[in-house]
Amino acid sequence: MNKIATKVTDQMDFFEGNDPVALAKQYGTPVYVYNERILRERCRDLKNLVTYPKFVVDYSAKANCNLAFLQIVKSEGLEVDAMSPGEIFMERKAGFAPEEIFYICNNVSAEEMQYAIDAGVHISVDSLSQLEQFGQIAPGHEVAVRFNPGVGAGHHEKVVTAGKKTKFGIEPKYIPEVKALLEKYDLKLIGINQHIGSLFMTGEAFVASIAALFEIAKQFPGLKFVDMGGGFGIPYKKEFDEAPLDLKELGEAIDKALYKFAEEYGEQITLRIEPGRYISAECSLILSEVHSVKHNHEKKFVGCDCGFNVLQRPIMYDSYHGIEVYRGSDVKSEQTETVTVVGNICESGDILAKDRELPEIRKGDILGILDAGAYGFTMASNYNNRLRPAEILIRENGEVVLIREREVLEDLLRHQIALKNV
Ligand code: LLP
């Protein structure tokens, strides 16, 4: 195998001795590849973030909800959040106990709330009207409430989930109304939570937001937990040596805030975070085959089989993903050139990397699209009636196992009902 540009995966020993070209051949492309060791390391990074004793990491399963993946997260002693009955269902299948699941819903029906109540999980609601609905269907029940601390952060305006421009959370000025509803329906407030947004690379906003959240918490004695949310970022521009989040510095700042809060609150209650991306992004890449290389006017296009049905982040948020090139033949190529890497979907926006400087890419080469484990497969679709890809896992001993089969054409017909007469 002639590896052409593999700085990132080599440094991480991502393939654990396996050949990406051989994996692409054996499992077909596109395929999501996960590395178990890296996933476990990321779980441990966050479990050890602080010294505060009652600290719980809830993995945010919306980032990646694969069953085998969840089983590994569970075995690392993390708990989970959920955003839908589907996520609760998967988490129960992966072995999480109901009390290890925190359902943080947004604008859901009474039936959905009832599903969560019946499942026995902790539930957070994030508006006065949803609190009223909860009280009506489950008077006397335990509940948590999501507040908007007024501080937001994130890599794109679409993923900032606190502050003035978002639908999420209850403004602190409505605390009297929250208290009135809790009393009206005899609800027991067990926790409060927030999530300021997704992907911060420095901790200021997060630390400011937890200070604001703790001020809110102090107005509610008797809480069992406060959940500070997720958003911990990862460096997507690794080939340019983008620095990772300084977990030591951030951990120390958070730790200080946690102890201070516990002292002021008068009790060391459970304090939680709910990271998705940090845990799941870096342990995965997509292998995709190049099927055409062409010039169109001034641009050189590299066309591969990873369309935005497979990875939506670039078209949705203009997100950057590093790309490596693997080649089966022993032809060496040191040259680089500027290319635009595109998928196979019938939209011009189907671009994985625009005007990117990459080693010379040829038809038949295999691309590695890096850091794809968070919001990758979970956002994949059947657009253009394409099949959602397989997922494989490189175990810690280097063995490769299939953890999701590639869809087949018949899957496209599932749940469709043909007319009897036309
Ligand atoms: N908790 C709540 C309530 C959330 O809404 C989210 C993410 C998280 C935790 C986890 O955030 P994380 O630690 O992963 O940043 N699809 C977008 C990201 C959307 C995030 C939605 N909420 C992307 O690909 O960048």
Per-residue CA distances from 358 to 159, 336, 417 (Å): 29, 5, 46
Ligand 1 centre from 357 Cα, in Å? 30
User: Ligand 1 centre and the CA of 197: distance in Å?
Assistant: 7
- Class of residue 265 by CB neighbours under 10 A (exposed 0-12, middle 13-18, buried 19+): middle
- Residue 147 Ramachandran class (φ > 0 left, ψ -120 to 50 alpha, else beta): beta
Specify the ligand 1 atom closest to the Cα of 199.
15
Predicted local distance difference test score (pLDDT) of residue 390: 98
Q: Would you say 371 and 281 are in contact if contact means Cβ atoms under 8 Å apart?
A: yes
- Predicted local confidence at residue 5, as pLDDT: 62
For atom 4 of ligand 1, which residue has the closest CA?
195
What is the distance in A from the centroid of ligand 1 to the CA of 380? Answer: 16
Catalytic residue status for 346: yes
Catalytic residue, from 65, 105, 304, 346: name it: 346
Distance 36 CA to ligand 1 centre (A): 22
Nearest alpha carbon, ligand 1 atom 19: 159
pTM over 0.95: yes
Residue to probe by mutation, ligand 1, list 45, 124, 277, most atoms within 8 Å of CB:
277
Q: pLDDT (tens digit, 0 to 9) for every residue of the chain, 422 residues total?
A: 445 667 899 999 999 999 999 999 999 999 999 999 999 999 999 999 999 999 999 999 999 999 999 999 999 999 999 999 999 999 999 999 999 999 999 999 999 999 999 999 999 999 999 999 999 999 999 999 999 988 888 888 888 888 888 899 999 999 999 999 999 999 999 999 999 999 999 999 999 999 999 999 999 999 999 999 999 999 999 989 999 999 999 999 999 999 999 999 999 999 999 999 999 999 999 999 999 999 999 899 999 999 999 999 999 999 999 999 998 765 566 788 999 999 999 999 999 999 999 999 999 999 999 999 999 999 999 999 999 999 999 999 999 999 999 999 999 999 999 999 99
Residue whose CA lies nearest to ligand 1 atom number 23: 375
Q: Which helix (H) or strand (E) holds 291?
A: strand 284-296
Residues with CB under 6 A from ligand 1: 60, 62-63, 81, 104, 159, 161, 195, 198-199, 229-232, 274-278, 313, 317, 374-375
* Residue 420 CA, ligand 1 centroid: distance in Å: 44
Tell me which residue has its CA closest to atom 8 in ligand 1.
230
pLDDT value of residue 25: 97
Close Cβ partners of 236 (under 8 Å, ≥ 6 residues apart): 242, 319, 320, 321, 322, 370, 371
